[in-house]
């Protein structure tokens, strides 16, 4: 699942659940979302795909913009819960930066292997799940705030 959807889900949880409980629920939401169908291509193609790189660059800046919006509008609980909801993917970001590759298939970390394994429905057609989900969450969390 893209970081934007993880962050929006964390923000939504922060608006619906009392503050201390929102943090572990935001973290759990990450793994639940990753079990849903979402965009992905085979790991061997990720370094070569221009769309993959473009899509995740847009996702990065959209998620960063969401964080800036939350802070600028003093939605601190939404900001922190959104960050916690995205946090598990920072393992992947660290790997990509360290190895200069989107090839995540051969990670030796037990956590990374488990995180990859739960993403059964990471497929190219998952884009048709991610985009509407992002639109609905954006409408609820940002426009409804």
Return the pLDDT at 105: 61
Neighbours of 53 (CB within 10 A): 13
**CB of 70 within 8 A of CB of 11?**
yes
Return the pLDDT at 113: 76
Domain that holds residue 13: 3-143
Name every residue whose Cβ is closer than 8 Å to that of residue 121 and which is 6 or more positions away in sequence. 35, 36, 37, 38
> Among candidates 118, 104, 103, 123, which has minimal Cα distance to 33?
118
Return the pLDDT at 101: 65
Residue 77 burial (C-beta neighbours within 10 Å; 0-12, 13-18, 19+): buried
Structural domain total, the chain:
1
- pTM value is 0.89
Return the pLDDT at 133: 98
- Give 118-123's long-range contacts (Cβ < 8 A, gap of 24+): 118/31, 118/34, 118/35, 119/34, 119/35, 119/38, 119/40, 120/35, 121/35, 121/36, 121/37, 121/38, 122/37, 122/38, 122/39, 122/40, 123/37, 123/39, 123/40
Q: What is the mean pLDDT of each run of 10 residues along the chain (145 residues)?
A: 97 96 98 95 83 93 98 97 94 72 66 79 94 98 89
Return the pLDDT at 90: 82
Return the pLDDT at 103: 63
């Amino acid at each position: 699942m893209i970081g934007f959807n993880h962050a929006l889900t964390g923000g939504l949880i922060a608006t619906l659940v009392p503050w201390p409980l929102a943090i572990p629920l935001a973290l759990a939401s990450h793994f639940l979302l990753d079990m849903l169908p979402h965009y992905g291509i085979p790991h061997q193609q990720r370094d070569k795909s221009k769309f993959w790189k473009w899509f995740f660059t847009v996702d990065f800046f959209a998620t960063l913009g969401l964080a800036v919006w939350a802070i600028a509008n003093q939605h601190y609980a939404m900001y922190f819960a959104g960050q916690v909801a995205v946090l598990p993917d920072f393992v992947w970001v660290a790997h990509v930066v360290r190895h200069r590759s989107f090839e995540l298939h051969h990670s030796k970390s037990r956590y990374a292997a488990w995180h990859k394994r739960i993403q059964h429905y990471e497929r190219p057609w998952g884009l048709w799940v991610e985009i509407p989900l992002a639109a609905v969450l954006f409408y609820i969390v940002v426009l409804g705030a």
